[in-house]
Amino acid sequence: MALIEGVEVSWDRRHECFSLDPAVSYLNHGARGAVPVAAQRALQRLRDEAEANPIRFFRDLPERIAHTRRHLAAFLGADPDGAALVGNTTAGAAIVLQSLGLRPGDEVLLTDHRYGAVAFTAEREGRRTGASTRTVDVPLDATDDEVTARVADALRPGRTRLLVVDHIASATARLFPVEQVAAVARAAGVPVLVDGAHVPGMLPVRVDAIGADFWVGNLHKWAYAPRGTALLSVAPRWRDRIDPLAVSWEQDAGFPARVEWQGTLDYTPWLAAPTGLFALRTLGVDRVREHNAGLAAYGQRVVGAALGVAPGDLPGPGGALPAGVAMRIVPLPAGVAATVPDAEALEVRIADEVGAMVAVMAWDGRGWLRLCGQVYNRREEYDRLAERLPALLSGNSRTRPNPSSASGSR
């Protein structure tokens, strides 16, 4: 047990470390994260400091940002001098794409598991430069060797200017063999950007050991940082070429300062991020990972059974299952949520009629339910979803749940 910003943080009281609505089952931590109360208080304290003397606060910011970056980079096994704090993973991907100097005839290669906003970013850069984007399909049940072979076969040395691969895919919770993929791309002379949005805090990682040219991950999901905190790691040969999306007063300072300094932005989420990481470490990083992975697997199992999905048809994270994979997906009945608008509508219905926040994805022509596990969750929440979801999908549920009847997430 430890007092962090005046908040008791301990495993036995882990449900009280967050300020989530107790009337809602919050089963979608991967979407926006949830900030521990201790980190919320650190954030507010920093904002109070900024408003007490804004000029002094901003004068001292560059060194404080650098100190925070060194702390977060060490946790991720990244070179602090070759990493920059950015707002989120998509912003980091945009910085990389616009720094490559793409030209007509160049292409960016992605997999069909890629995150939608990153794909949009690559397509926008293609429209601006004349480059193109291309997608390689990766079956959900492909082995690591099969994934690597598919990607290797899709590379076009001399034309493919960037390969974008997810570390853990948002849409499918698929774990990709990023070290193997980076190795085959490196042999082909193709730079690699690893989208590690869900990795910090969820999985143990040594970013520098992956061998990617670029790696970017959010700390505001599974590492308990306030929202708007991510780390972009860049291999040495690229650092002089990385430019921010907007130029500010640290432009001549080089990378990473030129990327981090963006004028009068609110930098307090970055400065409060170590408090969130301290809360995670106080709860016990390995214990949290094991707990969260177990809950996600349990939720997949009971919800899958309620929908009539055989255990063998429930997708795993892919490859060898490491401790800590805390997202799982469940296939929805054929024709349900098979398009993005339908998936979004179903997600809202589940929130309104079941009282559960979940992710509904349309991928590969069908709908999928993505469930997460976090320390504030309990098994009863997945049981309740499993009990109510079949009726909702059959059209028999139209009544908003009584909040007082839901045990919620505390």
pLDDT class for 349, splitting at 50, 70, 90? very high
| pLDDT bucket at 399, cuts 50 / 70 / 90 | very low
- Concatenate the DSSP letters of all residues of 42-62 into one string: HHHHHHHHHHH-HHHHHHTHH
Measured CA distances, 402 to 15, 22, 27, 381, 408 (Å): 21, 12, 18, 15, 12
- The reply to whether 7 falls in a domain is yes
Three-state DSSP class for 405? helix
Helix, strand, or coil (residue 113) = coil
pLDDT at 395: 80
Judge if 217 and 325 occupy the same domain. Answer: no
Percent helix, strand and coil across the chain, each rounded to 5?
A: 45, 15, 40
Phi-psi region of 228 (alpha: psi -120 to 50; beta: other; left: phi over 0): left
Q: Quick one: average pLDDT of 130-135?
A: 97
Q: HSE-up of 204 (CA within 13 Å, CB side)? A: 8
Total Cβ atoms within 10 A of residue 67: 12
Q: What is the pLDDT of residues 142-168, one digit of tens each?
A: 999 999 999 999 999 999 999 999 999
Say if residue 8 is in the same domain as residue 47: no
pLDDT computed for residue 403 by the predictor: 34
In this predicted structure, the answer to whether residue 400 has a pLDDT above a threshold of 70 is no
Considering the domain architecture, whether residues 55 and 164 belong to the same structural domain is answered as: yes
The overall average pLDDT reported for the chain is: 93
Q: What is the pLDDT of residue 406?
A: 33
Confidence of residue 59 (pLDDT cuts 50, 70, 90): very high
pLDDT at 48 over 80: yes
d(CA 66, CA 84): 9
Instruction: Give the helix ranges, DSSP H, for 188-317.
Output: 207-210, 257-260, 268-283, 285-306
- pLDDT tens string 197-212: 999 999 999 999 999 9
Kindly report the CATH number assigned to the domain that includes residue 392.
3.90.1150.10
Q: How confident is the model at residue 324 (pLDDT cuts 50, 70, 90)?
A: confident
In this structure, the answer to whether residues 145 and 219 fall within a common structural domain is: yes
Domain boundary among 227, 256, 276: 276
**pLDDT, mean of residues 109-114:** 97
Per the domain annotation, does 109 fall within a domain? yes
Q: With respect to residue 101, please indicate whether it lies within any of the assigned structural domains.
A: yes
Could you tell me if 272 and 125 lie in one domain? yes
User: What's the pLDDT score for residue 323?
Assistant: 56
The pLDDT of residue 359 is above 50: yes
Task: Quick: pLDDT tens for 22-46.
Answer: 999 999 999 999 999 999 999 999 9
Q: Could you tell me if residue 21 is inside a domain?
A: yes
Helices assigned H by DSSP within 158-266: 178-187, 207-210, 257-260
Looking at the fold, whether 120 and 72 belong to one and the same domain comes out as yes
Q: Note the pLDDT of residue 404.
A: 32
Q: What is the pLDDT of residue 318?
A: 63
Average pLDDT over residues 383-387: 98
CATH number reported for the structural domain that contains residue 213 in this entry:
3.40.640.10
* Residue in 10, 7, 34, 9 with CA at minimum distance from that of residue 377: 34
Residues 29 and 172 in one domain: no
Domains in the chain: how many in total?
A: 2
The vertex-64 CA angle with 59 and 70, nearest 5°, equals 150
My answer on whether 262 and 146 are in the same domain is yes
24, two tokens: 């809602």
Rounded Cα distance, 311 and 307, in Å: 11
Residue pair 254/240 in contact by the 8 Å Cβ criterion: yes
Q: How far apart are CA 370 and CA 331, in angstroms?
A: 9
Which comes out higher in pLDDT, residue 49 or 250? 49
Measure the CA–CA gap between 175 and 322, rounded to whole angstroms.
9
Is 6 within a domain? yes
Task: Please indicate, yes or no, whether residues 57 and 82 belong to a single structural domain of this protein.
Answer: yes
Confirm whether 227 is domain-assigned.
Answer: yes
Residues 62 and 147 in one domain: yes
410 in a structural domain: no
107 in a structural domain: yes
Final residue in a domain of this structure, among 216, 249, 276: 276
Distance (Å, whole) CA 381 – CA 356: 8
Q: Give the whole-angstrom CA distance, residue 99 versus residue 65.
A: 23
Please give the share of the chain, as a percent, with pLDDT higher than 70. Answer: 95
Check residue 320 and give its pLDDT. 44
| pLDDT computed for residue 325 by the predictor | 86
Whether residue 12 is found in the same domain as residue 82: no
Beta bridge partners of 368: 331, 361
What average pLDDT score do residues 250-257 get? 92
Q: Domain range for residue 7? A: 2-34+284-405
Q: Which of 247, 276, 305 is the last residue of a domain?
A: 276
Predicted model pTM: 0.93
Closest of 154, 31, 180, 163 to residue 96, by C-alpha: 163
For Cα atoms 42, 44, 49, give the angle at the middle one, nearest 5 degrees. Answer: 95
340 lies in the same domain as 253: no
Q: Say what the pLDDT of residue 401 is.
A: 41
